[in-house]
Amino acid sequence: MYPFLASNIDYLFEKNKTNPNKLSKEIEVGQATLFRIHNRITEQPKRDVLDKIAKWAGVTVSQLTDTDLKHSDASYGKETNKQNIHISPIEFRSGEAKPTNVRIPVYKDIKASCGAGIEHFLEDVSEYLDIDPYILKIMGIQTKPENLKIIYSTEYSMWPTVAPDSPLFVDVSDKDPDSLKNGNVYVFTHNNELRMKRIFVSYAGSKTVRLASDNPDKVRYPDEFITNEQLNEINFVGRLELALVKP
């Protein structure tokens, strides 16, 4: 049984001004299935149905089923949701081709969780961003273009540093656990989860590592502490150079 599923569906329908009939056509889920969920007849729908609804809503399945989305919007998105402003996902478009442009791979289906972590599997490159390297410098990116890969963010753990659905420019050359830049945000995989945290390494006494969320709500997003040995079990993908969409 999912404690918040039905109430979240009610909230999402109201928030997005839609209904089971309209949503059924948009996400290709049977209208009858959505009606059963909406009317609390079905309390444990199939995982693929939850996946489609969660993707449409811009949340994870666990958020959809186990958290109060109305409360979350009020608490963690005041700057946007209070005024009914929504940050739309960015899509890269091909511009004028120049011989000096650099090509950066974009992975649309790979999302680094800014919260507790969600499971994702690496897939092929979705597309490429062709861009003038001078523009990258203007954006504040310091690393070499060939070191960059673009993935996407999700959830509110790194808010307000990173907004959900923001393209993330990740420097994949900076991933040696023995040479981490203290206080920087890193993307890493651990226990089949792709995550993103700000990492602080303390060398006072025994070496300890703090994995921190930028969200000030430490009840919902508490800091995590691990040992140096546990740090070596983490597979670092790279360091966050830039989150393109910020609140």
pLDDT digits 0-9 by tens, 178-235: 888 999 999 998 777 888 999 998 876 667 899 999 988 888 889 999 888 888 888 9
Q: Which helix (DSSP H) or strand (DSSP E) does residue 114 occupy?
A: none
Q: Are the C-beta atoms of 183 and 173 separated by less than 8 Å?
A: no
Pairing verdict, β 185-190 and 235-243:
antiparallel
Among the listed residues 195, 226, 227, the one whose alpha carbon sits nearest the alpha carbon of residue 213:
195
Identify the CATH assignment for 5-81 out of 3.30.1300.10, 1.10.30.50, 1.10.260.40, 1.10.3720.10: 1.10.260.40
The per-residue pLDDT for range 86-99, each reduced to its tens digit, is 444 455 555 566 77
Pairing verdict, β 208-212 and 224-227:
antiparallel
Helix axes 5-15, 69-76, angle to 10 degrees: 60
The per-residue pLDDT for range 147-191, each reduced to its tens digit, is 999 998 887 888 888 888 889 999 999 999 888 899 999 999 877
Q: Are the C-beta atoms of 59 and 73 separated by less than 8 Å?
A: no
Per-residue model confidence (pLDDT) at position 122: 57
Round the CA-based radius of gyration of the chain to a whole number and report it: 20
How many Å apart are CA 42 and CA 209, to the nearest integer?
Answer: 44
Per-residue model confidence (pLDDT) at position 108: 79
Q: Which helix (DSSP H) or strand (DSSP E) does residue 123 occupy?
A: none
How many Å apart are CA 201 and CA 39, to the nearest integer?
Answer: 50
pLDDT band, very low/low/confident/very high, at 63 (cuts 50, 70, 90): confident
* Sequence letter at residue 241: E
How many Å apart are CA 34 and CA 46, to the nearest integer?
Answer: 11
Q: Which helix (DSSP H) or strand (DSSP E) does residue 133 occupy?
A: helix 133-138
**Does the 102-243 domain belong in CATH 3.30.1330.60?**
no
| Category of 246 on φ-ψ map: left (φ > 0), alpha (ψ -120 to 50) or beta | beta
Asked if the domains at 5-81 and 102-243 fall in one CATH topology, the answer is no
CA angle 200, 203, 208 (to 5 degrees): 55
Question: Beta partners for 197?
Answer: 186
Per-residue model confidence (pLDDT) at position 117: 62
Mean pLDDT, range 121-135, rounded to an integer: 81
Alpha-helical runs (H) found in 39-130: 47-57, 61-66, 69-76, 78-81
Domain ranges of the chain: 5-81, 102-243
Asked if omega into 177 is within 30° of 0 (cis), the reply is: no
CA angle 19, 23, 28 (to 5 degrees): 150
The per-residue pLDDT for range 7-43, each reduced to its tens digit, is 888 888 888 888 888 888 888 888 788 877 777 777 6
How many Å apart are CA 137 and CA 140, to the nearest integer?
Answer: 5
Q: How many C-beta atoms surround the C-beta of residue 140 within 10 A?
A: 9
